[in-house]
Structure 1
Amino acid sequence: MRVKAIHMPQATLLGVYANGQTFGQDSPIHRDNRPSETGKTAVLFCNEHWATCWGGELVFYDHQKQHIIKSILPKPGRAVIFNGHIPHSARSPAVNCDELRVTIAFKTVL
């Protein structure tokens, strides 16, 4: 509730999505909001432990989906809030990771 009040006071929740990934399950590059919508997404990393060497980054791209502009490693309890028009994808964990990469995504429209 505090996240909404501080970062997205005008937001209406469109959906909540639980995601789990293992090695080899990269997500496609996508946007969370349609061109006609203005919205934000909040992603919460849910694992209690995550080794840096396991990868699983949340990756943001330029609007042409050609270049990486930011990459964020999972960290227990970390939340990332971003514009839903930014192309992004979730990298799967490394082959040596025996954990499920778990996130919850809150997609909104303003």
Structure 2
Amino acid sequence: MKKTVMVALLTAVSVSVFAQQKSKDFDPEERAQKHAERMKKDLDLTEKQYKQVIKMNEERAEHMKALREELKKEQKAYQEDLKAILTEEQLTKLEAQKKERRKKFKEYKHGGRGH
């Protein structure tokens, strides 16, 4: 059961990481800064609150970066384990399924579903 949950989580995260990698051309600190600026404007934060939010966002960004790296390692290990278990035919079929999911995700992200 634990392994099944891990596989499902890794699959979901790998799609998410893949999508984020394609659209992310800025560093986590920049993102933390922009988020804090939006909060300052939208919520009328005091300067003290603003500085606290920036610090918190930067810490969170570093934590999330570490998590993404960990998940990449986990995904790579998972893929290697699959290669040891599946036949060439099964691996080819799995790769085709992944490509199809990426294609559908890309279509959805870029205006699919009637948008």
Which category of TM-score, normalised to the shorter sequence, fits these structures? Answer: under 0.3
Report which of the two has the higher share of helix.
Answer: 2
Higher Rg? 2
Bigger relative contact order, structure 1 or 2 (CA pairs below 8 A, ≥6 apart)? 1
TM-score by length of 2: 0.17
Report the TM-score when normalising by structure 1: 0.18
